[in-house]
């Protein structure tokens, strides 16, 4: 990949203090001592197995219907450069994330559904067919990666949940685990992390629920044991480690939209033509190689999802 030279308007990424900068200061998470130094094996996704979750087969062939069009990010790069504000505002939070407990795990299904219930993680896995998809992932901070996810279509989860016809949105809430998540102590964030999509988005074949990455159960820092993966939207829409799936007829007030509605809207579709108020979205830096490549509308997934937004006007971030 050619490295595109930095343009004048592109401020160095070290100064794009992203989603957090809007708060005007960084919370210094004192006391977040680095956890025990873990070997590569435990860093890269052995977490779930170690915690006793029965590991389903995850070394599946990627679905050719979703060609990535660029090289995979290395597993090491993808698992050591993360956003997960419950743990830290720094990218090297993977050590801190190892303190998380991910078993037992259950998910509450509630709101506008035929029958509210709680389903265990293993029970859920037993009811879906896992597949692998290589997806591009684009953070609103203008870095990107290319990752093989193991999981199942979000539409399957919607079907299992059996929503009422009145439901218009699906809302995912991340676990709050104060013992392992020092970020929760910070009162400047509206915890818990909440994200959501419309029913049409949730049932679009591209919308995915991931339980694995690189052929292994998800690493804790990557959202173990179960996360959302919405490759046409900025990464902040893909909430990690969710414990609640709620169906509602009201657009949810999502985590980042509460913090800065003018910067992080509900729709958050990737659009290189609409700059973030503080930086350009025209290009993205690939984690691992640092190549800078052009950003594509809908992150290149327009053929799958553009029709969802056909009636909409405005800047396609659709705030």
Ligand X SMILES: Nc1nc2c(c(=O)[nH]1)N[C@H]1C(S)=C(S)[C@@H](COP(=O)(O)O)O[C@H]1N2
- Minimum Å gap between C-beta 225 and Mo ion is 21
Of 204 and 222, the one with the shorter C-beta distance to ligand X is 222
CB burial class (10 A; 0-12, 13-18, 19+) of residue 202? buried
236 binds Mo ion (CB under 5 A): yes
Of 112 and 231, the one with the shorter C-beta distance to ligand X is 231
Of 121 and 236, the one with the shorter C-beta distance to Mo ion is 236
Number of Cβ within 10 Å of residue 275's Cβ equals 14
Q: Which two tokens stand for residue 5?
A: 């030279």
134 binds Mo ion (CB under 5 A): no
- Minimum Å gap between C-beta 193 and ligand X is 4
Neighbour-count burial for 148-171, b at 16+ CB within 10 Å, e otherwise: bbbbbbbbbbbebbebeeebebbb
DSSP codes joined into one string, 266-277: SS-B--TTS-BT
Asked if 274 contacts 316 with a C-beta cutoff of 8 angstroms, the reply is yes
95 binds ligand X (CB under 6 A): no
Residue, CB closest to ligand X? 235
- Minimum Å gap between C-beta 268 and ligand X is 10
214 binds ligand X (CB under 6 A): no
- Minimum Å gap between C-beta 138 and ligand X is 8
Beta bridge partners of 69: none
- Minimum Å gap between C-beta 229 and Mo ion is 13
Site mask for Mo ion (CB under 5 A), range 192-231, x = bound: ----------------------------------------
301 binds ligand X (CB under 6 A): no
3-state helix, strand, coil in the chain (%, to 5): 20, 25, 55
Q: Which two tokens stand for residue 282?
A: 């025209």
Single out the segment in contact with ligand X by CB under 6 A; choices: 82-90, 162-170, 197-205, 289-297.
Answer: 82-90
**Taking CB under 5 A as the criterion, which residues in 73-132 touch Mo ion?**
83
**Taking CB under 5 A as the criterion, which residues in 244-263 touch Mo ion?**
none
Residues in the chain: 319
Asked if 63 contacts 133 with a C-beta cutoff of 8 angstroms, the reply is yes
- Identify the DSSP state of 169: E
Of 222 and 281, the one with the shorter C-beta distance to ligand X is 222
Site mask for ligand X (CB under 6 A), range 26-65, x = bound: ----------------------------------------
How far apart are the C-alpha atoms of 206 and 66, rounded to whole Å? 9
Single out the segment in contact with ligand X by CB under 6 A; choices: 60-68, 148-156, 236-244, 272-280.
Answer: 236-244
Beta bridge partners of 119: 107
Interface pick for ligand X out of 83, 173, 269, 295 (rule CB under 6 A): 83
Interface pick for ligand X out of 43, 47, 66, 84 (rule CB under 6 A): 84
Q: What is the 3-state secondary structure (H, E, C) of 94-106?
A: HHHHCCCCCCCCE
């Amino acid at each position: 990949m050619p490295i595109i030279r930095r343009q004048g308007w592109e401020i160095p990424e070290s100064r794009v203090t992203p989603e957090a900068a809007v708060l005007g200061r960084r919370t210094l998470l004192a006391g977040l001592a680095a956890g025990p130094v873990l070997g590569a094996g435990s860093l890269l996704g052995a977490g779930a197995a170690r915690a006793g979750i029965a590991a389903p087969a995850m070394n599946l062939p990627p679905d050719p219907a979703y060609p990535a069009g660029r090289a995979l990010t290395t597993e090491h790069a993808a698992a050591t450069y993360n956003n997960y504000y419950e743990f830290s505002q720094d990218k090297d939070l993977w050590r801190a994330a190892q303190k998380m407990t991910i078993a037992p795990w259950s998910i509450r299904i509630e709101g506008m559904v035929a029958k509210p219930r709680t389903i265990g993680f293993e029970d859920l896995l037993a009811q879906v067919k896992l597949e692998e998809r290589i997806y591009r992932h684009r953070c609103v901070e203008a870095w990107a990666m290319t990752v093989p996810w193991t999981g199942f279509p979000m539409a399957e989860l919607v079907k299992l949940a059996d929503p009422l016809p009145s439901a218009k949105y699906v809302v995912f809430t991340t676990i709050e685990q104060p013992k392992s998540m020092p970020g929760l102590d910070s009162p400047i964030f509206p915890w818990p992390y909440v994200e959501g999509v419309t029913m049409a988005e949730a049932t679009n074949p591209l919308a995915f629920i991931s339980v694995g990455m690189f052929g292994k159960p998800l690493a804790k820092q990557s959202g173990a044991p179960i996360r959302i993966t919405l490759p046409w939207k900025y990464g902040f829409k893909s909430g990690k480690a969710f414990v609640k799936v709620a169906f509602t007829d009201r657009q949810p007030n999502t985590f980042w939209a509460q913090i800065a509605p003018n910067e992080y809207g509900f729709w958050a579709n990737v659009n290189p033509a609409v700059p973030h108020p503080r930086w350009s979205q025209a290009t993205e830096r690939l984690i691992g190689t640092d190549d800078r490549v052009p950003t594509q509308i809908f992150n290149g997934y327009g053929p799958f999802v553009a029709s969802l937004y056909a009636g909409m006007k405005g800047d396609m971030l659709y705030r």
